[in-house]
A = this chain, B = another copy of it.
C-alpha cells in the first residue's frame, strides 16, 4: 500500500507534455507550477521516467523535457512501473517464526498471491493510454480557457495574449 504520490505526479507531467507536444520543451519549473510543488521533486520523478525511456531531456538554455513516443503508445502501466517498485503489499520486516509451519511458509505463499493481485492491478493500468487521460482532461476542461504558464512560456507564445480567467 503506497502513500506516495509519485505515480500521480508522473501522470500529471506526462499529460501536460502530451497536451503541448507541438511546442517547445517543457521545463521542470513549468511542471512544478502546474503540479504545485518544487521543481526538484519534478526532476526526480522525470528522472525515473527518463530511465524508463518515456521522456527525453535536454540540458542547458532552451532545454527541457519531451515525450519519446506519441501519447497513445504510452500506458499507465509503464508509467507506474517507472516510478514504483511494484510492491503494493509488504511482508513484515521480521521474518515469521521458522519453527511454526504456518509462519515458516506464509511469506512465500503470500508473496505469490500478492504478485497475482499486483498483476491484476497492472493489467488494468495497461489498458489505459496517456492519450485516454488527455481526452478526459480535454473533456473536463471544456469552457476553461488558458493554460498555466511561466513568464518564459508567455514570452515565447507571441501570437495570442494570455486569456484572463
Contacts from A to B (Cβ < 8 Å): 1-5, 7-9, 11-12, 15-16, 19, 33-37, 76, 84-85, 87-97, 99-110, 113-114, 116-121, 123-125, 128, 133, 136-137, 140-141, 144, 146-148, 165
A121 to B123, CA, bound (A): 9
Copies of this chain: 2
Bound together, the chains give a CA A123 to CA B121 distance in angstroms of: 9
Asked if residues B4 and A99 are in contact (CB atoms below 8 Å), the reply is: no
User: Are B97 and A34 interface neighbours, CB within 8 A?
Assistant: yes
B110 touches A120 (CB 8 A): no
* Shortest beta-carbon distance from A35 to chain B in Å: 6
Nearest B residue to A109 by beta-carbon distance? B136
Can you give 16 contacting A-B residue pairs, CB < 8 Å? A1-B4, A2-B4, A2-B89, A5-B90, A8-B114, A34-B96, A35-B103, A36-B103, A76-B113, A88-B121, A99-B146, A101-B147, A105-B141, A106-B137, A113-B133, A117-B124
B residues within 8 A CB of A19? 102
- Which B residues are in CB contact (< 8 Å) with A76? 113, 117
